[in-house]
A and B are shown apart, each in its own frame.
Chain A
């Protein structure tokens, strides 16, 4: 597509439930990133996919967080047993190659855990 598409744009969930957030990167972009932005804060790196290589999961805050990327395109970020501190905007970005000229962000999914 023309831009990075994320869905849903907003998600309210009850504490303890699992959620799935979807990212559809720009066609042809081999690199895909997930970031988290807490209220009034900068962006925190979560995970990175590059082609068929093993993902860099070094930013995932706990084992409740996982992500996969199917067919080198769409990615899903899953948060199990959500906690209130998981409330944030989850941003996905994609880039050509390894993103050394920065990358293009989607509009994010605002997750609220109640």
Chain B
């Protein structure tokens, strides 16, 4: 079953605001990934993190891989309307010796909506 707890489940943004979401796990992952999904589309990779403590930016997005390897956060600065969508964290256990599939375990998603 799902092992990643993602919060908040939903949030409202106003243009220009910074937003933050995070993901925690009961087990260790070697890689953390953040995806965004628009309606009717598959998830698109935003940021990948490979090392505990790593802080990585992609434009207005910043993500960190927690030191314990059990958590990660994603920040969006100066939000714009097209930031609306569902954001998923995903953890990956990478097995170098055997092709264990490197399947992703996903969080439940954070739905980002525009403040009415």
Contact residues of A with B, CB < 8 Å?
Answer: 4, 31, 33, 35, 40-45, 48, 50, 53, 56, 58-59, 91, 93, 98-108
Q: Is the CB of B99 within 8 A of A41?
A: no
CA gap between A42 and B107 in the complex, in Å: 6
What's the least CB distance linking B74 to chain A, in Å? 14
Question: Contact at A106–B103, with CB atoms within 8 Å?
Answer: no
Query: Count the B residues whose beta carbon is within 8 Å of the partner chain — how many?
Result: 28
A42 and B48 contacting across the interface, CB-CB below 8 Å: no
- Report which B residues bind A (CB closer than 8 A): 2, 4, 6, 31, 33, 35, 40-45, 48, 88, 90, 92, 94, 99-109
* Cα separation A45 to B44 with both chains bound (whole Å): 17
Quick check: A43 and B103 within 8 Å, CB to CB?
no
Q: B2, B45, B99: which contacts A53 (Cβ < 8 A)?
A: B99
Chain B residues with CB below 8 A from A98, complex form = 94, 99, 101-102
Is the Cβ of A107 less than 8 Å from the Cβ of B41? yes
Candidates A42, A48, A107; contact of B109 at CB < 8 Å: A42
| B contact residues around A48 at 8 Å (CB) | 101-103
- Cα–Cα, bound, A99→B31 (Å): 11
Q: If the complex has contacts A91-B42, A100-B31, A102-B33, are A43 and B104 also in contact, measured as CB distance less than 8 A? A: yes
Query: With a CB–CB cut-off of 8 A, which chain B residues contact A50?
Result: 99, 101
Contact A105 B101 (CB under 8 A): no
Q: Is the CB of B108 within 8 A of A42?
A: yes
In the bound complex, CA of A50 to CA of B94 (Å): 14
Contacts of B100 in A (CB 8 A): 56
Nearest A residue (CB) for B103 = A45
User: A67 → chain B, closest Cβ, in Å?
Assistant: 13
The complex places the Cα of A88 from the Cα of B99 at a distance, in Å, of 28
5 A-B pairs (CB sep. < 8 Å): A33-B104, A41-B108, A44-B2, A99-B102, A101-B31
Q: Does A56 contact B101, Cβ atoms closer than 8 Å?
A: yes
Give Cα A45–Cα B108 distance, bound, in whole angstroms: 13
A53 to B100 Cα, complex, angstroms = 11
Given the complex, which residues of A lie within 8 Å of B108, measured CB to CB?
41-42
